[in-house]
Chains A and B, each alone.
Chain A
Amino acid sequence: MKRSVLMLATALSLSLGALQAQAAVSPLDLVAPIAQYKVYVTKELDAFVAATKDFTDAVKAGDLAKAKTLYASARAHYERIEPIAELFSDLDGAIDSRADDHAKKEKDPTFTGYHRIEYGLFVTNSTDGLAPFADKLMADVNDLQARVKGLTFPPEKVVGGAAALLEEVAATKISGEEDRYSHTDLMDFQANIDGAQEVYTLFKPLLAKDAKNEAFLKKVDANFASVDAILVKYKTADGFESYDKLSKKDRKALAGPVNTLAEDLSKMRGLLGLK
């Protein structure tokens, strides 16, 4: 396209003394990947609503074993789209907050959502008393779906979402403190990585327009591959091994690529001309 060639020429011809993020892409080039990302998020949310329905139904039916099985895979949908989901902080708190976020921890009446039910299923080892939490969770998840549908995705949140997910992994998934009762952290870990990879893949062709980004893209690809290669060792038929099975060596091996991805993906916004 004439426009993009011109933009590229413009970018190259500007000699900016300082290190400055340069955009070889027109802002309008961002529209299609953002639209595609919304389609992705919409599909994940549809699946999240369906999975939450099955999960909460099992909780309310008192089917402890089934609820435990469904827990991690239902949450994975949420973890994939967290950059968008967490824009609604009230719902994020209601659906995904951890006991630490509440004054009285597990006993706090404001502690609700997936982790509250996780606590019941995996610590109390019972579905007793969980039905109200299940109903509230289902309502909150439906609300989330409706709100996301009406949301104009902020471009910088979409592009920045890849980095945000890696920050999430670096801050809470490496340590295994997210799913502290069920130890299903590796499922979340993979979901965060998947969600980041989706964003990255959508915008990669735009980044690839600029030959200067070649090394950057290679490095990011390699680090995603390293993370995936370690995680795949812990995959089971219906999910992942418990977090405590993650060897110390692998945990350390994950930290390098995860932190490097967080560093590198944090540059995507600037490279694409967003602030």
Chain B
Amino acid sequence: MDTAPKAASPAGGPHAPSRKAMRLAIAGSGLLLVIAFAAFYWATSLASRRKAAEAGDAVAVTVTDSACEPMDLTVPAGRTTFAITNRSNRAMEWEILDGVMVVEERENIAPGITQTIAARLAAGTYDITCGLLSNPRGKLHVTPAQADAEPAAPALLAFIGPLAEYQVQLLTHAGDFATATSALAQAVQADDLERARALYGEARLSYARLAPAADLFADLDTRLDARADDFGGREQDPLFKGLHRVEYGLFAQNTTAGLRAPAEALAADAGELNQRMATLQLQPDRMVSGAARLMRRAAGLEAMGGAEKYAHSDLADIQAEADAVLGIATLLRPLAQKASPGLPARIDADGAALTALLAAHRDGTGFSSFETVAADQRAAIAAALTTLGDDMDTLGAALGLTTSGRSVQ
């Protein structure tokens, strides 16, 4: 699971240009970033230290060509790390099954390799797979936990409701985004600068609301949300498209001229995003890991001077993105409350703290330009975003979805 906090890039590098831009920015930027990155490194190293500790207490299981060794395991309820060594002659996966349901699995363990897998298990008897489907299954007995033991992670079934609700929300925002961008394309077509600017804001906010999941479609995310800095020729680069290209025209060049093609391409991509959202099969861990990444990415960008270089509407974006992240936490709240009773309140408090920081810059129904936000205030906002990102990691860990995160007592 990819939980190591990388500022702008999930595994697979769909944001390669962003990362490059980031490095450039780091070079030219000051102390703030050092602080921000110190936080990232702290979190990263904490996570890896945890992993090392887990591997030390891991329950070892060796899988041969014909069976598991041992075939019968007993562990206490709560969190257990298993170290699975593949001594068979082919790549295999190892699963813990509750009836026919997969509780945990580690895929693609190559021959000769040991992989760890952490699972939070409720008391009961489970099956474990042992290589080939034709091999006999082993038994995993989970004994009831002590009173003070960690609560078990919710079963996969428990995530169906929140996932479905989240998918509905994503569909709604993607629909709004498609509607706003196509209206924006029409406004550009009609040379209506004021209306186009207003619609840009609407489109931007809709995209911010689905941002925790936007990087599920890395190609589209790059097309829709790349910044000029990501391109060699910056604003003049012919590959520079998407929201920021339109923003550049509307707010820096103050004209709709030359925006017809980018605006139409934007609307088309938004339409495609909408369609892909409808067929999305979201995994529970992506709800929190996407949210955590988004918050840290936002923290990095704000520290660097903002994402909305021309419209300077960063504060509204941040609020919308934070709301989206808090919305995810709300969907998972009933599960989190059981798994880690103090956590929801802490996320609420951290969310409220961020909102309070932003509220200082409220201007009527919207926000002041990001240019008016002083450096120390930007740093405070970035720090609050980072905290919220960490909270989402903690949430993921509490729900047994990921393996890192701070513990909550």
- Interface residues in chain A, defined as those with a beta carbon under 8 Å from any beta carbon in chain B: 3, 6-7, 9-11, 13-14, 22-24, 26-28, 30-32, 34-35, 38-39, 42, 151-155, 273-274
**A7: nearest chain-B partner, CB-CB:** B100
**10 nearest CB pairs, A to B:** A34-B164, A35-B167, A152-B165, A35-B164, A31-B163, A155-B160, A152-B161, A27-B156, A38-B168, A11-B100
Partner of B97 from A3, A10, A32 at Cβ < 8 Å: A10
Interface 1/0 per residue, B319-355 and A, CB below 8 Å: 0000000000001000000000000000000000000
Question: A30 to B102, Cβ gap below 8 A?
Answer: no
Q: With A28-B156, A35-B167 given, is the CB distance from A273 to B100 under 8 Å?
A: yes
Q: With A7-B100, A31-B282 given, is the CB distance from A38 to B164 under 8 Å?
A: yes
Interface size on B, residues (CB 8 A): 26
- Complex Cα distance A274/B158, Å? 10
**Inside 8 A of A14's CB, which chain B residues have their CB?**
99-100
Question: A155 to B161, Cβ gap below 8 A?
Answer: yes
Partner of B101 from A38, A154, A273 at Cβ < 8 Å: A273
**Inside 8 A of B171's CB, which chain A residues have their CB?**
35, 39
**Inside 8 A of B165's CB, which chain A residues have their CB?**
35, 38, 151-153
A-B contact count (CB 8 A): 78
**Inside 8 A of A153's CB, which chain B residues have their CB?**
161, 164-165
Q: Is B37 an interface residue (CB 8 A)?
A: no
Question: A39 to B168, Cβ gap below 8 A?
Answer: yes
Chain B nearest CB from A73 CB (Å) reads: 26
**Inside 8 A of B97's CB, which chain A residues have their CB?**
10
**Inside 8 A of A3's CB, which chain B residues have their CB?**
102
Q: Is B262 an interface residue (CB 8 A)?
A: no
Question: B157 to A273, Cβ gap below 8 A?
Answer: yes
Question: B157 to A31, Cβ gap below 8 A?
Answer: no
Question: A26 to B168, Cβ gap below 8 A?
Answer: no
Q: Is B27 an interface residue (CB 8 A)?
A: no
Q: Is B283 an interface residue (CB 8 A)?
A: yes
**Inside 8 A of B157's CB, which chain A residues have their CB?**
27, 155, 273-274
Chain A nearest CB from B334 CB (Å) reads: 8
**Inside 8 A of A273's CB, which chain B residues have their CB?**
100-101, 157
Partner of A27 from B101, B133, B279, B282 at Cβ < 8 Å: B101
**Inside 8 A of A34's CB, which chain B residues have their CB?**
160-161, 164
Q: Is B367 an interface residue (CB 8 A)?
A: no
Q: With A34-B160, A35-B164 given, is the CB distance from A28 to B281 under 8 Å?
A: yes
Question: B102 to A154, Cβ gap below 8 A?
Answer: no
**Inside 8 A of A10's CB, which chain B residues have their CB?**
97, 100
